[in-house]
Amino acid sequence: MKTNIVFLFSGQGSQFYHMGHEFYQTNPVFRKYMDDFDKEASKVLGESILSVVYNVDSPRGKGFKRTLFSHPAIFMVEYSLARMLIETGIEPQCVLGTSLGEFAAATVAGIVTPEEALHLVIKQARCFEENCMPGGMLTVLADPALYHDKPGIFESSELVSVNYNEHFVISGEPEVLLKVERYLKEKDMGYYKLPVSFAFHSKGINEAQKSYTDFLRGKDFKKPCIPYASSVYGDFIDEIPEDYFWQIARKPILFKEAVGKLEESGPRVYLDLGPGGTLAGFIKRMVGSESKSLAYSFLSPFIGNDKTFERVVRILINGI
């Protein structure tokens, strides 16, 4: 297949109960990887991730916040879906992750093994839970200039991501975000709270830095075997710094800049492997109607996913 395919992986806030469950029930590749990950995670956590995510009593599509479960769950689903595609014959020519999604991207690119990545993810979650005060993240559906134009409203929050002209994300302490929410409600501006427990990409997680970077010290990260676009740098990288998997949680997300770099070399087919399918939506707004690039997603909390997978695979296998 000659199509220039990019695998996309999203981060915290994209998770929901029963994500990927249709694939778990019907696809043996997806189920195998999910089960293998769950066995390994259970050794470390003493509890099954699948028993949390696929709990029959939990409402389908509802987000869940506990980082110790959501961190590994997102990685497990994303990497299992990637293997599902690869073993179907659809391989990426490039990978791009945002925030936590960089763990799955790095695994597909051969930087770390699946088992190593799972342990890195779980350790990071534990560092947050053991060291950080509660916090949150808020997506604002307005011009990002608003953040700078209203310093009195957004003070003490941090701008962590600008995805397109009417979409930005801030992090901060709960009372800080509550002040912003009140203002947005008063002005009838759209927003939504991400289902997260900490103020990722802000000073609110600084207390976890030492314990996690100590854990990372001496780790041997391999060079990527396929082009690796970084949302930390907004560009391609071929060397992985020792503290890189800390920086993916702390630095601002430069997803838009990374996509800009990808687009410089011509049209792409972006496959969003994140739970919520949000990155595919971002891509469509970023590249504009004149671009020949395409974007597809496979998972959503609102619709069935197996038919979407079959349709996209059929399109890619037959050529675009």
User: Which amino acids are annotated catalytic?
Assistant: 99
Phi, psi of 59 (to 5 degrees): -70, 130
The answer to whether 248 touches 102, Cβ cutoff 8 Å, is yes
Q: What is each CA distance from 39 to 50, 163, 280, in whole angstroms?
A: 10, 36, 31
What's the burial of 269, exposed, middle or buried (CB within 10 Å: 0-12/13-18/19+)? buried
Side chain identity at residue 308, one-letter code: T
The answer to whether 269 touches 1, Cβ cutoff 8 Å, is no
In 3D, which of 8, 286, 296 has the Cα closest to residue 164? 286
Where helices occur in the chain by DSSP H, the ranges are 21-26, 28-45, 49-53, 67-86, 101-108, 114-131, 145-149, 151-154, 174-186, 209-216, 244-250, 255-263, 278-287, 306-318
Residue 18, C-beta contacts closer than 8 angstroms, at least 6 positions apart: 53, 54, 58, 60, 61
Concatenated DSSP letters of 7-67: EEE--TT---TTTTHHHHHH-HHHHHHHHHHHHHHHHHHSS-HHHHHT-TTSPTT-----H
In 3D, which of 257, 283, 304, 253 has the Cα closest to residue 11? 253
Phi, psi of 181 (to 5 degrees): -60, -45
Tokens coding 276:
């919520």
